[in-house]
Structure 1
Amino acid sequence: MLRHDTGGFAASSPPEGFDLKDFEEAGLRVVERRFEPKDLIFAPGDPDDQLYFLLSGVVRLYKIYGDYKEATTALLKDRGIFGKLSLVEGRWQDVFAEAVTEARVAAIQKAAIEQVIKTKPDFALKLFSSLSERLRQSDEVIESLLHREVSTRLATLLLNLGERFGREEGGRLVIEVRMTHQDLANMIASTREAVSKVMSEFQREGLIETRNRRIALLNREALAERAAGPTGLV
């Protein structure tokens, strides 16, 4: 799992060695689906009868709390496994899964997985280890978001996005996923106005620059100091 040590936003990937081939070798049938940016893969109230494996692209998981604020709990890129841990039938989704870019997703029926788990303990251990770690991080992410200043949360988010989706270019780290200030606000449970104010501060201080909705990190050390800032009210 990739996660910046300042806390906050988490970017998730599967544990070492876990791949789609594990499902196929276990005899599980997978169904591939394609999504465009902003398409919802599932939402609260949808049947919770499948697990999902990200074949390509970027997907984010988020919850809505309080006054309809969004909190991103995980951002997955290529090979991330997601969905609820429970294999009990009759449950419903309680989070949103949204494609950030064009994405290919494989879906596997939980009923079939349950049968395999009964006969293949090694497969079961890998699967539950992967999902339980992501769920643990999700809870920690939401808790940390609620008690940190916007500037601290935003600096943490930018560092994580740079670590996960950045490309070195002329001494800068360019985040290759295009995002608006509203997108950033949704990821840290804040408002567009608050994020725009802090982004302007970061630019004046020479920490970042933005062009065509692409953000470049210019001073990661200074951003890390901001990410480790004091907690406080939004």
Structure 2
Amino acid sequence: MNSLQIQNFFEILRAANPSPQTELEYASVFELLTAVLLSAQATDVGVNKATRRLFPIANTPQKILALGLAGLSEQIRTIGLYHSKARHLLATCQILIDQHQGQVPRSRAALEALPGVGRKTANVVLNVAFGEPTMAVDTHLFRVSNRTGLAPGKTPLAVEMGLLKRIPPEFMVDAHHWLILHGRYVCKARQPLCSVCNVANDCDHGRRLQSAID
């Protein structure tokens, strides 16, 4: 994709969804961090199902710690890898209390120092909670970036760096959401819905398909 196509691509996505939001349900920065930590190898729908049980009884580091490993594991047992995630969340809560006055830190280094929090999770929190122009490259962003030609790369970090370089500044804060939603509902892994895609004309894959038809 060239710069004009990238501009058109995001203008179309913005027009269709001017204020994109994460599909994870949360009411505080700590709840967001918890939900994202639990979302590894799990769907947002599955995470929301678990946090609807968890958050009404424990939505602060202190309350999560009070549940203990058995209690927390019981609350999130429907999520894949729930036992290891429970251990990571408990350790994270202890660090938040000991080192950050119970608050979620705003720096990347501090976030990535939390158990179970990698670069992708840190990017989500920085973007969604604090409005930082970051790119959390999950499977959707990785696929969309490569398939469309927006920011091809062999690794998530390469794609992230490409996105940060190629996306115009005016779209940066919301681009993460637009790309995730586009990958989740339109540019699907097995059968992308190119026939109904409103950005197909600016996408390398879409243009190749149209050339083959012509």
TM-score scaled by length of structure 1: 0.28
Larger strand proportion, structure 1 or 2? Answer: 1
TM-score scaled by length of structure 2: 0.30
